Amino acid sequence: MSFNPAEIKKQFPILQRQIDGNPLVYLDNAATTQKPQAVLDALSHYYTHCNSNVHRGAHTLADEATRLYEAAREKVARFINAYDKKEVIWTAGTTEAINIVANGAKQLLKSGDEVIVTEMEHHANLVTWQQVCKISGASLKVAPITDDGELDVAAFQKLLNGNTRLVAMPHISNALGTINPLHELIPMAKSVNALVLVDGAQGIAHGDVDVQALGCDFYAFSGHKIFAPTGIGVLWGKAEILSDWPVWQTGGEMISVVTYDSATWGELPNRLEAGTPNIAGAVGLGAAIDWFSGLDLEAVKAHEQLLMQKAVELSTGVDGLIIKGNAPHKIGVFSFIIEGTHPADIGFLLDKQGIAIRTGDHCAQPLMKRLGVPGTARASFSIYNTVEDVEALFKALQKVKMMLM
């Protein structure tokens, strides 16, 4: 598929609507991406042609649903270059995926052990490990960032020691757009034999996710960040680790043998997938990966950088606008404040002009405190955004300034 943002936008029905009489300019992609017609069609096909539970049915609908469901698992495995498709565990999203790892870790960690996170964590990858450490007696260590929003690699390395049992860090910061140098950080963590979990919620649609090349032990992501439905996500983990990892939930599908006195667990991936899964969500994620993989991914990256460069260029024309997060390696996340205004007011007035952004702390309150602000306004770009969208944002911001100042 050739890469033409304006043509790609036409494949997203929701982007054709208007808000208060204005064309919708959707710039909240770090929160969730919109869905192309191909994904909507896949969901409709599943529900109208083969809606059924998977694996256990002895009829045509169950067989067709199972084939679609497991084909989606294979697509994910190829997309992230997993060693084996059984390492792909379906979850409700990144948060549940992290909690599956944390549930096992709290049973394995002990007093004296250490877990390392970073100052740029989303709450899902901070509060979860904070609570695990409180339960297990382990200590939580936080690797600092620079004023530009980059991870302080030297400080991170100093935190690593023989007591480090697990490192949990984002592939890309949701609030700043910073791309962490995983190919440098993960070997450092592995040198002290620590397990490494990567929060890939923002990385999955922006980075080249190759779990074998990265060398991490776990990689978690949500489908809705990569044009798939909400409520579906993935925990990838090395089979040799997940095969013995404490189970997350018990119930149907994940068992092997059950008596009134005991139960044994099934093999991967079933042992970590209790109950009826989000079959339609998995099918939708498979369709999203097919659709996304058909694009020129190098052109996608180049276009996103073009949008970011345009935003930075136009920001100089807005008095009092300060960008938060100036790492040299970042995705199209443009977080900012305007002196003398509140981010919530900016967001409200932009919405009245048809422009959708995110405001607040972005589920990263400690990071906002580190930056010295209560929150930011965040415009985040995706493949269907155009230069005209960026120009519309800054034209609208000038009106916002006039109304607020």
| Active site amino acids | 363
Please enumerate in sequence order all residues whose Cβ is within 8 A of that of 181, keeping only pairs 6 or more positions apart, or say none: 151, 153, 329
Residue 221: helix, strand or coil by DSSP?
A: strand
Q: Given strand 358-360, what is the order of strands in its sheet?
A: 321-323, 333-338, 376-380, 358-360
* Type of residue found at 126: L
What six digits make up the tokens of 51?
């809606």
Residue 156: helix, strand or coil by DSSP?
A: helix
> Which ranges constitute the DSSP H helices of 56-181?
60-80, 94-108, 127-136, 153-159
Phi, psi of 20 (to 5 degrees): 50, 40
d(CA 64, CA 298): 35
What six digits make up the tokens of 347?
């967001």
Please enumerate in sequence order all residues whose Cβ is within 8 A of that of 40, keeping only pairs 6 or more positions apart, or say none: 13
Cα 353 to the chain's mean position, in Å? 28
CA count, 13 A, side-chain hemisphere, 259: 2
d(CA 252, CA 237): 22
What is the CB neighbour count within 10 angstroms for residue 245?
Answer: 22
Distance linking the first and last C-alpha atoms of the chain: 46
Cα 7 to the chain's mean position, in Å? 25
* Type of residue found at 80: I
Q: Are 214 and 198 in contact (CB under 8 A)?
A: yes
Please enumerate in sequence order all residues whose Cβ is within 8 A of that of 372, keeping only pairs 6 or more positions apart, or say none: none
What six digits make up the tokens of 107?
């049973």
d(CA 196, CA 236): 12
